[in-house]
Amino acid sequence: MATYDLTPRIAPNLDRHLVFPSLEFLQERQLYPDDQILKAKIELLNKTNMVDYAMDIHKSLYHTEDVPQDMVERRAEVVARLKSLEEGAAPLVAFLQNPNAVQELRADKQYNIQMLKERYQIGLEQIEALYQYAKFQFECGNYSGAADYLYQYRALCTNSERSLSALWGKLAAEILMQNWDIALEELNRLKEIIDSKSFSSPLNQLQSRIWLMHWSLFIFFNNENGRTQIIDLFNQDKYLNAIQTNAPHLLRYLATAFIVNKRRRPQFKEFIKVIQQEQHSYKDPITEFLACVYVNYDFDGAQKKMKECEEVILNDPFLGKRVEESNYSTVPLREEFLENARLFIFETYCRIHQRIDMGVLAEKLNLNYEEAERWIVNLIRTSKLDAKIDSQSGTVIMEPNYPNVHEQLIDHTKALSGRTYKLVGQLLEHAQAQVAR
């Protein structure tokens, strides 16, 4: 199922360290030959300072205990450079490790810089050295140390570009340590800066949004409310436009979030239009499933796509997360997806039929007759679905459901209010941009 693997599209939008978890997943799933994955790892590692890890992979790949001389020399260079950077940052690191001294810091960065210079002989050179030391620690794979130093650096840094770079680094470190709650805080902080910052070019802002959405996948699919949060972020006009312009493959994750999200949102109808518009630039079984159900009303096609969707989820590094339970592992998202996908088919099929043969419905839902009957009975019992089962004829009889005029009016009013709010926001942004010029 490597046909639907998005790693080649996603990797260029990630820090190289963030690519390793995806390669580990692909190696575990055996989607590619083992040698190919190991070579990809070495190629990534050659651009980092994780020389010991590169040496271990080289030994596994070539089944030898010997390593190339250039790796040995590179290791010596890294150790020497780390020692040099450590010495350069030592005065500030010593200050930050002194609880009594740290209490002298205030929210005013200019005051802090002046105080450090006068009382501790720590200047801008040492603050910059802390950034370089933190960055080098990150490249060595010491994500915990890097996160701490980058946090402290941002508290002292007055250069907005450097501060932004440090925030990206801290976000990457928190993701790699799987500190999902802290990573979410950093993600929101970064989004706020990207949306409010004045970029030298709109293309730079667009690229920053695309990077942010790719990095967010790690967080949203490991967070309790991630399926709601990914819709909140990706479905915003500016971010959805960025997806349609430069990263249509991200529609897979937004589509999955809509399918497994139990609260059906008003934005879903608009999203179906996006799926329809972007079919020429991107499609996979998950987006095609939605097109089958809501655009083409092709229920046989939807059933086939459901089986393919299952394989896509199992082999996707973000969707296929496994949870160990006693002696076996499960993929929770797979079960949720299939359950909700059946519900999508059932609801849509019921809207256009008044009397439905149970055998036909079972086939559409990819279940046997008994499973389909139990599933529909449970659905009628637990939801507001106005239907009944005729056991003698083996059919589901739908009661007519006429739309409530008042509810329709409220929905249209809400949509109008939302569009007005967006229009006002765009006008204000344009006015602010004109003033800034």
What is the Cβ-side half-sphere exposure of residue 241, based on CA atoms within 13 angstroms?
7
Q: In the prediction, which pLDDT does 363 show?
A: 84
Rounded to 5 degrees, what angle do the CA atoms 198, 202, 206 make? Answer: 105
Residue owning tokens 């603050």: 127
Quote the pTM value.
0.86
Closest by CA position to 133, among listed 174, 96, 178 = 96
pLDDT digits (tens, 9 = 90+) for 234-280: 999 999 999 999 999 999 999 999 999 877 667 898 999 999 999 99
Q: What does the alpha-carbon distance between residue 144 and residue 162 come to, in Å, rounded to a whole number?
A: 20
Reduce the DSSP state of residue 156 to 3 states and report it: helix
Fill in the DSSP letter of residue 48.
S
Contact present, 156 and 104 (Cβ < 8 Å): no
Q: Which of 233-242, 374-383, 416-425 has the lowest mean pLDDT?
A: 416-425
Rounded distance between C-alpha atoms, residue 301 and residue 292, angstroms: 6
Q: For the segment 107-129, what is each residue's pLDDT rounded down to a tens digit?
A: 898 999 999 999 999 999 999 99
The model's pLDDT over 127-171, given as tens digits with 9 standing for 90+, comes to 999 999 999 999 999 999 999 999 999 999 989 999 999 999 999
Average pLDDT, the chain: 89
The H or E element that residue 133 is part of is helix 124-139
What confidence score (pLDDT) does residue 396 get?
84
Per-residue pLDDT tens digits for 61-93: 999 999 999 999 999 999 999 999 999 999 999
Please report where in the chains the tokens 């970064």 appear, as a residue.
190
Whether the predicted pLDDT of 421 surpasses 70:
no
**Residue with token string 């076996």:** 328
Which amino acid type is present at position 366? N
Give me 168's structure tokens.
């990206």
Cα(140)–Cα(436) distance, integer angstroms: 41
Could you count the other beta carbons within 10 Å of the beta carbon of residue 30? 11
pLDDT at 422: 67
For residues 295-308, give the mean pLDDT.
Answer: 92
Residue 1, pLDDT > 60, answer no
Residue 393 confidence class, pLDDT cut points 50, 70, 90: confident
In which band, very low, low, confident or very high, does the pLDDT at 328 lie, cut at 50, 70 and 90? confident
Q: Which two tokens stand for residue 205?
A: 């802002």
Question: What is the identity of the amino acid at 303?
Answer: Q
Q: CA-CA distance, 303 to 365, in Å (whole number)? A: 7
pLDDT recorded at residue 354: 79
Of 97, 82, 169, 94, residue with least CA distance to 133: 82
For 185-221, write each residue's pLDDT tens digit: 999 999 999 998 878 888 999 999 999 999 999 999 9
C-alpha dist (Å) from residue 210 to 234, 241, 270, 319: 10, 10, 21, 19
Q: Which two tokens stand for residue 363?
A: 């086939």
HEC string for 274-341: HHHHHHHCCCCHHHHHHHHHHCCCCHHHHHHHHHHHHHHHHCCCCCCCCEEECCEEECHHHHHHHHHH
Task: Give the model's pLDDT for residue 166.
Answer: 97
In contact, 210 and 10? CB cutoff 8 Å: no
